[in-house]
């Protein structure tokens, strides 16, 4: 089973797929991080999803370009601010 965590950055949506095991870690409040590779306007970016690093329920998404330029913060908030779906069904 998979959990899909979707956030909006600018006019785009980015969806990180999380395994059920890792979702249980996130829901328990333990720090967890993963990276999504995606393109924007023809350039590839890495979107770094960070869960629970400062407080339980926190979600931060930073991004960087192919050559580690174009660094920035794309999303800062909580899991409640993201769209969470479980195998296609919304749970948030």
Q: What is the pLDDT of residues 18-61, one digit of tens each?
A: 999 999 999 999 999 999 999 888 889 999 999 999 999 999 99
Please state, in angstroms and rounded to a whole number, the distance separating the CA atoms of residues 71 and 62. 7
Q: What Cα–Cα distance (Å) separates residue 3 from each residue in 71, 84, 90?
A: 27, 7, 10
Q: Which residue from 11, 6, 18 is spatially nearest to 61, judged by alpha carbons?
A: 6
Residue 89 has pLDDT above 80, yes or no: no
pTM of the model: 0.89
Q: What Cα–Cα distance (Å) separates residue 53 from each residue in 13, 65, 73?
A: 22, 23, 15
Q: pLDDT (tens digit, 9 = 90+) per residue, 73-87? A: 999 999 999 999 998
Residue 64 has pLDDT above 70, yes or no: yes
Number of domains observed in the structure of the chain: 1
Domain encompassing residue 32:
2-90
Non-local CB neighbours of 91 within 8 Å, separated by 6+ positions: 84, 85
């Amino acid at each position: 089973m998979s959990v899909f965590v979707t956030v909006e950055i600018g006019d785009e949506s980015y969806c990180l797929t999380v395994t059920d095991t890792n979702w249980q870690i996130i829901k328990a409040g333990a720090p967890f991080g993963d990276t999504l590779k995606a393109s924007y306007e023809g350039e590839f970016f890495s979107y770094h999803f960070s869960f629970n690093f400062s407080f339980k329920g926190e979600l931060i998404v930073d991004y960087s370009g192919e050559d580690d330029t174009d660094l920035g913060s794309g999303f800062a908030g909580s899991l409640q601010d993201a769209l969470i779906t479980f195998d296609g069904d919304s749970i948030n």
